[in-house]
Amino acid sequence: MSTRELDPATLAAIASIIAAFGVAMLFFRIQRELQMSAQDEIIWLPWADWLLVFATLVCLFFVILPLIFQTTSRVPTAAAGAATVLVGGYIFAILGHYRILFGRRRTGPRYNPEPAERVVVFVFSFLALVVFAARAVYWH
C-alpha cells in the first residue's frame, strides 16, 4: 500500500456510511411514494435520489466487494471518492427538486426532474466520473 492509499478499514467505513445513508433515504422515499400512491398521485423516484442509488451501488460493488476479495487495485479508493461526490450532489439536487434552493420562482406542479435538479445531477455525475478516473488512472 502506497502512502496515498487508504487502508481497507477506512475505505470500508466510508463505503458503509454512504451505503447506509443511501438505503435509509431510499426507504424514506419508498414510504413517501406509497403515501402519494394512496392519494392517487403520480409516483416517481426523483433524479436526485438516483445519485444516492448509484452511490450506494458503487460502494457495495466497487468498494466493499473488492475489499472482500483483497484486491490491490486503486478501484476501491476511486469508487469511494466518486460515491462521495454523488452524495454531495444529492444535497443540491434534492433542494432543486423541491425548489428550496433553486427554482423558488417556479410555480405549479413539480416535474421529474426539475430543471435545476437535472443540471445538478448531470454536473455531479460528471464530477464523480472525473474523480473516479483521476484516482483510478492518473494518481499513482
Q: Could you tell me if residue 113 is inside a domain? A: yes
Q: Could you tell me if residue 3 is inside a domain? A: no
Confidence of residue 4 (pLDDT cuts 50, 70, 90): low
Residue-wise pLDDT for 52-88, tens only, equals 999 999 999 999 999 999 988 899 999 999 999 999 9
Residue-wise pLDDT for 87-116, tens only, equals 999 999 999 999 998 888 889 988 999 999
Domain count, the chain: 1
For residue 33 the three cell numbers come to 411514494
Q: Which of 82, 84, 70 is closest to 7 using CA atoms?
A: 70
Q: Could you tell me if residue 69 is inside a domain? A: yes
Residue 139 has pLDDT above 80, yes or no: no
Q: Could you tell me if residue 40 is inside a domain? A: yes
Residue-wise pLDDT for 32-58, tens only, equals 999 989 999 888 899 999 999 999 999
Residue 134 has pLDDT above 90, yes or no: yes
Residue 140 confidence (pLDDT)? 60
Residues with Cβ within 8 Å of residue 56, at least 6 apart in sequence? 18, 19, 22, 23, 26, 83
Q: Could you tell me if residue 45 is inside a domain? A: yes
Q: Could you tell me if residue 2 is inside a domain? A: no
DSSP category for residue 42 = -
Q: Which range of residues forms the domain containing residue 108?
A: 8-138
Percent of the residues in the chain that have a pLDDT greater than 70, as a whole number: 96
Residue 41 confidence (pLDDT)? 85
Q: Could you tell me if residue 1 is inside a domain? A: no
Q: Could you tell me if residue 54 is inside a domain? A: yes
Q: How buried is residue 16: exposed, middle or buried, by Cβ count under 10 Å (0-12/13-18/19+)?
A: middle
